[in-house]
Amino acid sequence: MTHQGFRRLRNRKNQGTSCLILVLCVVLIVLLAFYWNRIHKDKLPLTKPVPTQVRDSVKVIVPPAPAKAIPNSVIRTAPDPARTKQARMIDKGDYLLIEKSRHLLHHYRDGALQASYSVALGKNPQDKTKVGDNATPEGQFEVNFIKDSSAWTHDFKDGKGETKDAYGPFYISLYTGAKGTLSGKTWRGIGIHGTHNPASIGTNASEGCIRMHNAELLKLKAAIENKPSVPVDIIK
């Protein structure tokens, strides 16, 4: 082999070595970058995810809107456990529980609280013991019938004579027989109705009936009308 041949062979070996070194350098850089990312991944600051609108191939996925607030006029207030010992707490169908000491009427359906309403009760906060004592009777009752009372009037003995809209739009009559009353007496004329005086709601102001805001009475009436039986418990 001539001197010139040896020289060409050596140049080829040098080129091959250079290419190998270059490839090794690239591999080494990639490996260093990978491990660097692995080591520092957990050190990245956490950010709070922001709801975004995501579009896929079929539909637009929008984050759910926040739940609507319950109106102040209809509150969901669980009855006081200390005052429900004599209540039946019926868990089938519609059931009403009235707590006199808290001026609240609770509406249940199949054991689940649907709504609680502020009510006005008898001027006398005690259990009813005689006719005309202005007290709301306590015991275990049921809805008797519902009548349109929008045309009814009543004389509250306040010198104003017959008052229009005294009973609101509807009168929900309660059957308050002797078997259900704590007093063991039968009472007539006890019911749940609206009022011409919304300021009285939440106080002891009636002659024994249970008064409600007219708008809330309409909601309750719509929820329980045409039901075969609606038990009603009135407790202290």
pLDDT digits (tens, 9 = 90+) for 71-130: 444 556 778 776 666 799 999 999 999 999 999 999 999 999 999 999 999 999 999 999
Tokens 């019911």 correspond to: 191
What is the structure's pLDDT at 1? Answer: 56
Q: How far apart are CA 179 and CA 102, in angstroms?
A: 25
What is the structure's pLDDT at 172? Answer: 98
Q: How far apart are CA 233 and CA 110, in angstroms?
A: 15
What is the structure's pLDDT at 63? Answer: 53
What is the structure's pLDDT at 27? Answer: 73
Domain ranges (residues) in the chain? 3-43, 81-235
- The residue among 83, 132, 130 whose CA lies nearest residue 103 is 83
Domain 81-235 class, CATH top level: mainly beta
What is the structure's pLDDT at 211? Answer: 98
For residues 133 and 124, is the Cβ–Cβ distance under 8 A? yes
What is the structure's pLDDT at 56? Answer: 44
| Single-letter code of the amino acid located at 24 | L
User: Would you name the residues annotated as active-site residues?
Assistant: 193, 209
**Which two three-digit tokens encode residue 32?**
């260093």
**Which two three-digit tokens encode residue 153?**
């009037």
Burial (CB count <10 Å: 0-12, 13-18, 19+), residue 66: exposed
Q: The whole model's pTM is what?
A: 0.67
pLDDT averages per 10-residue partition of the chain, 236 residues: 56 64 75 66 51 47 50 63 80 97 97 97 98 97 98 91 96 97 96 97 98 98 96 97
